[in-house]
A and B are shown apart, each in its own frame.
Chain A
């Protein structure tokens, strides 16, 4: 990343100003749409944070429970970084960014115990529901982490079980029964640039980030996941500060769901 933009941004930050005029802890406008593709997916959602746009779909499949958890269902999160969303993304097998993004989304939902896995099991040791969450960024204008987590949760909220006929899923018919969504873990990613903490960066800001911390938070403020990224380290005080910001901001994010 270029030094001239970094220099300029730090100069702006010192005047208490973001690249697009926002405050450090201010998100862009967030819009959530549910059921954008109800014919092809059991649940779907579109999330827009400013110009960043992410689609998420939930598909349900039947499978045999894993032998270590014979009475539980499971989830799988997949992120494909489409080349159309950012010129830096290439088609082909998922790169490190896509893998990290999908795992961060997966971790918040799994460890936040968002879905009751026991209720996803139909017959122990024989049949369970596999919840596939597919996330596609349509436009990457920064902060895919929070947008993807929000989209995944919105799609889960929208999803309904299809009917099972003779041991097979009849995708055309919905039972109208919602998934056993018991908790709503949301992620907020706090970025550190120089000595400044900020949320929801635009692409230019994202390129010069020193460190970032994605924090998964439940409704009552309990933390359920953490992911640190970026080249620089964080000391314990900084982590504390970042977590505080994340807890505060996820409360706001919850209102758009």
Chain B
């Protein structure tokens, strides 16, 4: 007989038993130990049908195929670039995935992306922890222009973006800033006025700090409305 030992949205610690019996299935950050499901992270329980998963409260970014991330160029080679995406190993961006321009063999690739440039890229393949391939072919993938970068924990990114991008559009609408959020927690933003930029950062920090409390969208709307009048 299967039994669930925790409730939805309960905070669990690593090693805590979540369910007994074979009827429940391990989701993200949950492992099966004989007939028990055990948590591997500090986080909040999420249930969807028979699947038990954990939404971690904090933790590093782990690259996944299909993620859009913001990375920094840390190496320029003959066939492509090395990119730091906030993971212990550098990712590869090869010339053929970076541009559809014709680039002559042996030309200087730093003309396209140089050391210290930031780019927004898609992860197309994660072969092992050390081999991560990136691509810049896709809508919105580009080299970033002048702007400021802030970093938030990668686990908070889904809340900052919101359902179908609702939260981030809210911030964009109220502040008029251009904002790009990478799944790795790096956010690039630029506004036409410095004060609006500060407000956008304040809003993002507020989302980050209160992401686990429900009713966030309404509170954010209220917060932005109030703060905007103060500008």
Answer whether residue A67 sits at the interface, using C-beta atoms and an 8 A cutoff: no
Interface residues on A, range: 10 to 19
CA distance A8 to B144 in the complex (A): 12
Contact (A2, B194) CB under 8 Å given A11-B146, A19-B148: no
Contact of B117 among A3, A9, A15, A21 (CB under 8 A): A3
Answer whether residue A252 sits at the interface, using C-beta atoms and an 8 A cutoff: no
B147 touches A21 (CB 8 A): no
Contact (A8, B195) CB under 8 Å given A2-B116, A2-B117, A204-B148: no
CA distance A199 to B196 in the complex (A): 23
A4 touches B194 (CB 8 A): no
Interface residues on B, range: 10 to 19
Residues from chain A with a CB closer than 8 A to the CB of B144 are: 4
Most A C-beta atoms less than 10 A away, residue of B145, B146, B198: B146
Shortest A83–chain B CB gap in Å is 15
Answer whether residue A7 sits at the interface, using C-beta atoms and an 8 A cutoff: yes
Residues from chain B with a CB closer than 8 A to the CB of A1 are: 116
Answer whether residue B72 sits at the interface, using C-beta atoms and an 8 A cutoff: yes
Residues from chain B with a CB closer than 8 A to the CB of A7 are: 145-146
Residues from chain A with a CB closer than 8 A to the CB of B148 are: 5, 8-9, 19, 204
Answer whether residue B118 sits at the interface, using C-beta atoms and an 8 A cutoff: yes
CA distance A3 to B144 in the complex (A): 10
Contact (A3, B116) CB under 8 Å given A8-B148, A19-B148: yes
Residues from chain B with a CB closer than 8 A to the CB of A19 are: 148
A5 touches B149 (CB 8 A): yes
CA distance A9 to B118 in the complex (A): 16
Residue numbers of A with Cβ under 8 A of B are 1-5, 7-9, 11-12, 15, 17, 19-21, 204
Query: 17 new A-B pairs (CB below 8 Å) besides A4-B118, A4-B144, A4-B146?
Result: A2-B72, A2-B116, A2-B117, A2-B118, A3-B114, A3-B116, A3-B117, A4-B147, A8-B146, A9-B148, A11-B146, A15-B194, A19-B148, A21-B194, A21-B195, A21-B198, A204-B148
Give 30 CB contacts A-B under 8 Å. Answer: A1-B116, A2-B72, A2-B116, A2-B117, A2-B118, A3-B114, A3-B117, A3-B146, A4-B117, A4-B118, A4-B144, A4-B145, A4-B146, A4-B147, A5-B146, A5-B149, A7-B145, A7-B146, A8-B148, A8-B190, A9-B148, A11-B146, A12-B194, A15-B194, A17-B194, A19-B148, A20-B198, A21-B194, A21-B195, A21-B198
